[in-house]
Amino acid sequence: MQPLISDDERLAQILSDVTDRIRRGESPELQALLQQHPDLAAELKEIWPALALAEEFAKPSLDHEKQAPATPQPDPSGALVQPSLPRTFGDYELLEELGRGGMGVVYKARQKSLNRLVALKVILRGELASAADLVRFRAEAESAARLEHPNIVPV
């Protein structure tokens, strides 16, 4: 007998599947997901725009010359739009994805005000990050800032 999983666990699995499909070049549609999972429709509708935003910032691009649309939005069918980099994020122009982990995505970026190349880590969940996520992200940054070694750049 299979153990029962919570709605939160099901939602996490659905979102993981959707992001995997996006990264394979597919364009999942919200309407299809709503029909497959009517009991999670409210949650899926609420999280869909944030998923579009997260995927925009997480997607690497080899075409650095192409400008991305200003704001990512699901199209009328609910498919996630995949703008490309470079992309402006505050004082930074995101040039390419360098890596990702459980907490965030690291980009090669240009800090416009100082005209320099930097590595910029962005919290993966963005505005959907919980207070605990923010505390953990800040603790990680503070730990990295305390590291001193000739082969490690200061944070």
pTM exceeds 0.75 for this model: no
How many Å apart are CA 106 and CA 123, to the nearest integer? 9
Query: Do the Cβ atoms of 146 and 138 come closer than 8 Å?
Result: no
Q: How far apart are the first and last CA of the chain?
A: 50
**CB under 8 Å to 5, separation ≥6 — which residues?**
13
Query: What is the structure's pLDDT at 85?
Result: 67
pLDDT averages per 10-residue partition of the chain, 155 residues: 73 81 80 90 77 59 39 51 68 86 83 90 80 83 76 68
Query: What is the structure's pLDDT at 57?
Result: 54
Query: What is the structure's pLDDT at 64?
Result: 38
